[in-house]
Structure 1
């Protein structure tokens, strides 16, 4: 079962994206959340040099139905918010991936750590891509597996191995992205994106495993 960490750019128009990009020095930590089809209730911790003006900006957002300050001290505030815009959590709900808290939001991006099946993780990736939501997979670890099984999602592994087996990495190349995407029955842009993410995961693993080891 994979455990993954994703950094996802929050869609335009979401209150927490607008506020966190307006105040890039602010950090939000969502400690608990109750998602629904039309409303989301969450408890968040805000860390910022001056949290009070940020809370006021949140309360002014049209999608925010209610904001209740639970406590505050210098540089930190804990508050509960009820919002009518559940789009931030919609991809997770659609993919059927269990929500884990706490998670962080900074400068328009949310970081999720998730433990789920490979199929549901792939469904989440598909949902994000279908909705043109930019994201980056920081890592995928197969719980209980060795290092070789922790690098890629099932879909990334399929695309990468297909490219490898068909000679995409040979010199000279024996195939093209167009041919690979046609074989896998996916678009060329999707094939390129998935392959690029797989290559990035492999490169980061190699750098951490071998380059980092040589420097120690």
Structure 2
């Protein structure tokens, strides 16, 4: 059974595609989502220096029915969003492929990971083509492959290695989070978000490989 990672070009006709392309530093983390042909509901974690203007932009979209602010703290907000245009998730729904959650959408691109049969993976690729969504297959590998080989996205690896090289993890620290963000040319909130999730993946992998076993 294959495990695959795909980079999806989210159409700008969809609210999240247009907003993420307009604000490339923003990170939309889709924590969970359900979709049909004409409706989609998702919990979305938004990382931004000031989430409120972005929330206002989301509410102004014609394809967004409701936006509920579940909580907000500094540069993070958790939203429940109902849309009438769930286009990016329609191929997943049609192909019957379980999508690993959470997944990120940034700068108009989503990173998807799926584990399914080869037949359903092929059906998913056809379904993406049918609705005109561009995609790139980053890799397809057997599910038995080492988890370390698919532990981090390229973005997470870039941010993590930059932080290590800058001395962010040395004691005492030789670089602040803001300085790491400056090296990458991204917002501090974005850097914190990506780094936090990369650290989480590494810690969980270490425990599974070296403690639980």
Q: TM-score interval w.r.t. the shorter chain?
A: 0.5 to 0.7
Residue 124 of structure 1, CA deviation: 1.1
Matched, 1:100 2:114: no
| Structure 2 match to 1:69 | 69
| Structure 2 match to 1:137 | 137
| Structure 1 match to 2:51 | 51
Residue 51 of structure 1, CA deviation: 1.0
Matched ranges for 1:62-211 at <5 A: 62-144=62-144
Residue 24 of structure 1, CA deviation: 1.0
The alignment yields a C-alpha RMSD, in angstroms, of 1.7
Residue 131 of structure 1, CA deviation: 3.2
**TM-score with structure 1 setting the length:** 0.65
Larger Rg: 1
For residues 145-180 of structure 1, the C-alpha deviation after alignment (integer angstroms, 9 at most, x for no partner) is: 69xxx9xxxxxxxxxxxxxxxxxxxxxxxxxxxxxx
Structure 2: runs of 5 or more not aligned: 151-213
Q: Given the superposition, is the C-alpha separation of residues 34 and 130 from structure 1 closer, same or farther in structure 2, using an over 3 Å criterion?
A: closer
Q: Which secondary structure does the structure 2 equivalent of 1:17 belong to?
A: helix
| Structure 1 match to 2:33 | 33
Report if aligned partners of 1:23, 1:54 keep a CA contact under 8 Å in 2.
Answer: no
Structure 1 residue runs of 4 or more that deviate by more than 3 Å after TM superposition: none
Q: Given the superposition, is the C-alpha separation of residues 142 and 60 from structure 1 closer, same or farther in structure 2, using an over 3 Å criterion?
A: same
Structure 1: runs of 5 or more not aligned: 151-216
C-alpha separation between the residues in 2 aligned to 1:34 and 1:105?
16
Q: Which secondary structure does the structure 2 equivalent of 1:127 belong to?
A: helix
Q: Which secondary structure does the structure 2 equivalent of 1:120 belong to?
A: helix
C-alpha separation between the residues in 2 aligned to 1:39 and 1:133?
18
For residues 75-134 of structure 1, the C-alpha deviation after alignment (integer angstroms, 9 at most, x for no partner) is: 111110011112110111121211321011001111111010001111111222333321
| Structure 1 match to 2:188 | none
C-alpha separation between the residues in 1 aligned to 2:129 and 2:83?
25
**TM-score with structure 2 setting the length:** 0.65
C-alpha separation between the residues in 1 aligned to 2:94 and 2:34?
15
Q: Which secondary structure does the structure 2 equivalent of 1:38 belong to?
A: coil
C-alpha separation between the residues in 2 aligned to 1:84 and 1:76?
25
